[in-house]
Structures are given as C-alpha cells and as structure tokens.
Structure 1
Amino acid sequence: MKMKHSRTSNAASSPFPSSPLHIQPASEDDPWAFWAHALAPLAVAALRPSPDGTDTAFLTAHHAGLFLLLHSHLPALALQRSRLRCTEDGLDHLVITCLLSGRARWRSDRLARLEPGDCGFCDLASPLALRTTGGTQALHFIIPRLALPASVAPLVPIRERRFAAGSSPALLLQGLAATLLRALAAPAPMELSAFSRPLMDLMALILGPAGKDAGTAAHADLRRRLRRHIQDNLASDGMTADSICADLRLSRSQLYRQFEGEGGVETYIRRRRLARSLQMLSDPACAERRIGEIAYEAGFADEAHFSRLFRQHYGLSPRAFRKSGSVAPALPIGSGNSQDASATFARWLRQL
C-alpha cells in the first residue's frame, strides 16, 4: 500500500518546518484495507458498501502544537469506538467537526445528524459510532482536554453537541478552520504553533460552557483527575509524587500505576513542563520575557537545569530555539504505506 505525503517548509532559517501528514491510497491499493489501517489510531473503521468518494478520498493532518487540524474527504465509512477501546487507548481528546459536504450521523449517548454547514463536538473518551455518506468532506480540530478550560472540557466525558448551520458558533468554527487551512497552504505557511494558545482561548469562547449534564470532577476517572491536577500545578516546583498523593488522597501505588506507560509520574511532569516552556518560547506575547522567567513559570527552579533538559528533549537550547524563530518541532512523516501513516498519526495523537 502506498501513501502519498507532502512536506512543506517554512523559512529556511527554521530547523523545524511545518510538515503536514497527507494520507491518500494509491490506485493499486485496496481502499477497504487502506482506510482501516490509516484510521486505526482513532477508531475501528470499515468502508460501507458505496463506491462514492473512494477514488478521491484523502486525509491531511497539520500538527499545531496544542491541537491537530485535519481536512478529510472520505468514502462512506463506519467508525466505532467501544467502551473498551476508550479505556485501552486512553485518548482524552475532543473533536470538533465542521461538515462541508455529505452527511454524517453519530450515536453515543444519543443520536445526532450533521448536515453541510453544521458543526459537531464530541468526546473521544466516550463510546462513539459514526457513519458518513460517500464523498463527505470536513474540517476537524482534535484538541486534548487539558488544552481547554474545565468549564468547556470538564474531567468527565461530555455529551456530543451540534451547532446548526448558520448559527454563530458554526459560522465562527467553520470560518476559523477554513482560514487556518488556507494559511497553512500558502507559499509561506504560517507558523501555526505560535498562535495555538490564543486559538484555544478563542475556541473556548466559541464553544461556551459544557452544560449542567457534564457531571463533576468527583465522578471523573482517576487518570483525568491526575492529569488535570498536574497541568494546573505545573508552575509549582514543589509538586512531587508525595504532594500529589496528599492533594488527591492517593497511595503511591495508585499514583504510579497510572503513569506506568508514561515512564513514571516524574517523567510525565517533566515532559508537560517542557511542553509548556516550548509553547511560551513560541508565543509572540512572550518574546520579551527572559529565559529564566519562562523556566520558572513552567515549574523549573534552576535555569541551567532547565536549559540542559530542554536541549536533551528538543535538540537545541531554549535560546537557540527562540533565536531560530521556529515553533514546535515538526513530527516525522510515515515512510510510504498505511502502516507508517497510521503509526505517525497515532504518535501525533499521543503527543498532544
């Protein structure tokens, strides 16, 4: 199976060019098997018995640091995320879909239909069944829960929402997604990661509060409670395994089990702090702030220690990163088949 992919570069001075992942089967590929592999990181996928849209189907993903922006033109599909799948893969992301053409129908807690111009908002932490017609084209934001405030993305899985075509939220979301996509396709693509934090603030205003049926933190599973607690306390250099256990009334064994797949809780905290520092160094609003100040706000007590960790993780010093004018490092693209595309897409989802 062949996978077409494209790489676009920003200014030559940037060591981290923006590299979209473009997934499209070659003429000799079996489209049924291709899309099942390519979409496996998100859900179990199967083509429905309809030839419409199979020949022109593609999926393009842009990594924006805090979120992914996708442009899809897919054949008739059935996608499913079971409760077991939600537990096993741990994806704690929200998906906003702006439908451009075709029709989509999903069922989680309730049935919802999307028509062209509608926008849908769903939670990957909840079981989901989605069906689309052939040739369905859409723009999607995939956003980690922790990138949005708790009022918009509470710790418990939230019910899907539909913004009708012509409504203010739908018009704003469609316009924002389309504008970003055009900017990324320009001859000199915009450095999207530098704007990811303000874009998330704007997204929170558009979406508004989750509503009374969202539940409370007391009902959230332990994994989400821990990650939200860590994210909210990154600036505290006194946050340790012991302090987390005390704050959330956990035993050490309970805490450590939740981060076995992350290399341990200390590794997870360090990675989140480095990610925050990277976002701040990429943010034009922080251009005049000292490196030490950014390190301290990200939770590092010592600037030299921070610089050493930053270089180990990203390959250059914070000062060199800022001087280069670059943004979040581009992530690697698959080498040429649906398995590689699926692995790259899965890595992007996990690294949000």
Structure 2
Amino acid sequence: MQAGLFLSTEMVAEEQRSEFWREISRPIFDLLPINEEKEDLKGCVHAYTLGELIISSVQFNQQNYLRDRRAIVHSGLDHYLLQVMTGGSLVADCDGLSVVARPGDIWLFDLARPYRCNAEAGSRITLAVPREPIDRANGGRSAHGMVLPGADPLTGMLRRYLVDLHETMDRIGPDDLAAMETATIELVSSITGRRPWSEGRQSSSVDRIRARMFEFIDAHIGDPQLGPELLMRHFQMSRAHLYRFFAELGGVNAVIRNRRLDAALRTLKRPSPSRRTITDLALELGFANSGHFTRAFTRRFSVSPSGVRPGVWLPDGDGGARRLQTHLASQIRTWNDRTALPTNAVDAEALIDVPDPAVMQAEHI
C-alpha cells in the first residue's frame, strides 16, 4: 500500500505560492506569467508511482506552460504525458500542431518535443508513460498533441479506468503493482494506437512493417552504412516503396539522423565516471565526423553536445517517471526546511480554491 505524495500551494505562505508551484512543476515545464496583474499561481498534486509509470491528480488556477528544447535537454525526460481533462479547457501549440482539449477529452504530449499551452483553471488526471509502447502502437508516428475526443466510447473507457486507478492506488498491494503497470501500458497503447480520429491513418500492416524498420534502425544505429540502401536490401523493397513508408516522418535519412541524435542525448545525460569525447560519440553513432554531429545536434536541441550536463532525470532502468516522484519528495524536504509543511498534507487538499476533480467530472462528462 502507498499513500502517495501530496503538495499544495496552500501549504506555504501566500507570498511564496508562485515560487513553490513553479519549483514543483519545473521538471515538466516552465510556468509563464498569467496576466499583467501577476495573479499568484495556485495548485495541488497528489501523485503515486506504478513501476515505470506515475499517476497523479492535479488541480490549478489559470496557468500558461512552456516546454522548449533547452528545457527538454536539461530535464532529460523521454516520456509521454497523458492528461484526462476532468475540468477546464486548454489551447496548445505542440511543435507547430494546434491543439484544443475540453473536459472529457484525453490528450497526450511528448516530453521530448516542445509545446506551449494556455490552460483554464481546472483539474487533470495525468499519467507519465514510457515512449516506446506508444510509438510502437502508432507505427513509429509521434503522438505529440494527440487528442482522444470525449465522445468516443474507448476514450470514455480509458478515462474511467485512469480516474478509478488513481482513486484506488492507496489500496493496491505491492504484489499487484507489476500487473497493474503492465495492464495500464497495454490499455493506453492499444487505445492511442487505434487513432480513428487521426486523418490519413495508414493500414495496420504498414504500421507493423514500419515498427520493424525502427527496431532494425535502433539495432544498427552505429553502423555508418545505415541508410536507405541498407533498409532496401534488408526489407527487400524498392526505393519508392521505402520512401513512402517514411514520407510523413520527414524521410528515411531524417528519421535515422534524429534517432541517432536522441541516442546521443541519452548518452550525454547519463552520469558516467569516464565520459566519451564528442568525436568518439559521433563516430560510435555513425556520424561522419564530430563537426557534422555537433551542427545537427545543436539544430535539434538548441544546445551543443558539449553544453549538455549529466542530469538526474534520465529515464533509464531506474525509471524516469519514478524520478518525478523523487522530485516531489525532494520538494517536500526543501520547503519543509524553509517553512514547516503540514504533517497531514493530504488533508489539505480541500483548501485549494479550485473545483474538485470528481465534481468537475460529474458536471462535464
């Protein structure tokens, strides 16, 4: 059994609330000014870990969020964040894709890609889920900015499951956590992979073949010969056929380059007693030279490879989502040193002046 972690801006003095909420939110996004009156930020979060997942309920007043490439590099998080819209609407720009989500909808954004969001006062049930199962279910296509409409029956099923999961986390025994983690990942992946609301959906056979190509690319990521010719030979298809598989993803070469760059970022973020030189890393990942690698890396992440510092947020075998929980725990310790937080923190949830998620869900769904 686990009680989870609870933090609320009502736990600190009024003049500290905006700073408190910004620090809690910082690994995922930066909070921008709401309006000229500089209204205090308010919010509360109650989070649980479920293996490599983290599920939480969040309530807040009107807030603006930004996650740019510099934040992506410094946080190192490589998960999708799925949000059940239990109250309040939002408008977002997900790396050029305009998104609107309303109460009852579920939407996803990729923590490895930029986004900017304006959110009304409201509430969410959020789930941090590893990237690979979602991308695999979508045939390698990004789910960044995907909105599952509330009226869709499968959206409703997933919404109810996640709301109920959060409500019952404190009653799930340790022997059941692994099974619940697996079931949750499979359910989320299968429903997001269905995508009947996505224009231009290709056949499932195309998705399966493209997923196999991604596995092949990752297995040969350091081979300097990795490219269209190698893929054509291995999968026995024509150049035109191969290019059609990757057209919507920017092309074969762009996909290979970006996966190499993403692998480089993960390596650079991983704490290591003996870090490779930039040249060594470039050659290991199949780049012709360090200059080509550095220019491509800087274009993708807005920071040079030498500017990346090892960080604590890298999602590795320890569980990237679990480290968000560690961040919340560290915030409790930090702020307890500055101002005594209440020992009965969970009881403070009712103090925040935003609607209760269950009430909002009943009103809007």
| TM-score, normalised relative to structure 1 | 0.57
Which one of 115, 120, 124 corresponds to residue 102 of structure 2?
115
The equivalent position to 1:180 in structure 2, one of 165, 184, 189, is 165
The superposition leaves residues 55-79 of structure 1 with CA deviations (integer Å, 9 ceiling, x where unpaired) of 6x31122111121112100111111
- Indicate whether 1:22 and 2:6 are aligned: yes
Match of 2:120 in 1: 133
Give the Cα–Cα distance (whole angstroms) in 1 for the partners of residues 264 and 194 of structure 2.
22
Give the corresponding residue for 1:237.
Answer: none
Structure 1: gaps (5+ residues)? 1-9, 11-17, 229-243, 276-329, 341-352
Q: 1:91 to 1:246 in 2, by over 3 A?
A: same
Superposition pairs of residues 30-179 of structure 1, within 5 angstroms: 30-46=16-32, 48-49=34-35, 57-108=43-94, 109-134=96-121, 136-148=122-134, 150-152=136-138, 154=140, 157-179=142-164
Structure 2 Cα separation of the partners of residues 73 and 190 of structure 1: 30
Structure (1 or 2) with the greater helix fraction: 2
- Change in Cα spacing, 1:151 to 1:339, as seen in structure 2 (3 Å) is farther
Query: Any idea what the Cα deviations from partners look like across 1:231-263, whole Å, max 9, x if unmatched?
Result: xxxxxxxxxxxxx99996468998xx79x9669
For 2:86 and 2:154, the matched residues in 1 are separated by 15
Cα deviation, 1:329-348, whole Å, max 9, x if unaligned, reads x95823444599xxxxxxxx
Structure 1 pair 189–150 and aligned structure 2 pair: CA distance change class (3 A)? closer
Q: Deviations over 1:200-254 (max 9, x none)?
A: 12211111167564556425332445799xxxxxxxxxxxxxxx99996468998
Higher relative contact order structure (alpha carbons within 8 Å, sequence separation ≥ 6): 2
Q: Taking every aligned residue pair, what percent have the same amino acid on both sides? A: 15
Conserved 8 A contact 2:93-2:116: yes
SS of corresponding position for 1:63: strand
Q: Secondary structure at the match of 1:126?
A: coil
C-alpha distance in structure 1 between counterparts of 2:282 and 2:23, whole Å? 40
Q: Per the alignment, do residues 43 and 331 of structure 1 end up closer, same or farther by CA in structure 2, a change over 3 Å counting?
A: closer
* Alpha-carbon separation, structure 2, partners of 1:101 and 1:53: 20
Residue aligned with 1:125, SS: coil
CA distance in 2, matches of 1:31, 1:66: 30
Deviations 1:100-136 (CA, angstroms, capped at 9, x unpaired) = 11111111222211111011121122210011112x1
The 5 Å alignment of 1:266-281 reads: 272=317
1:61-98 Cα deviation digits (max 9, x unpaired): 21111211121001111110113322343322111111
Change (3 A) 1:42 1:187: closer
The count of corresponding residues between Structure 1 and Structure 2 is 246
Summarize deviations over 1:265-312 as a string: whole Å, max 9, x none.
xxx99x63x87xxxxxxxxxxxxxxxxxxxxxxxxxxxxxxxxxxxxx
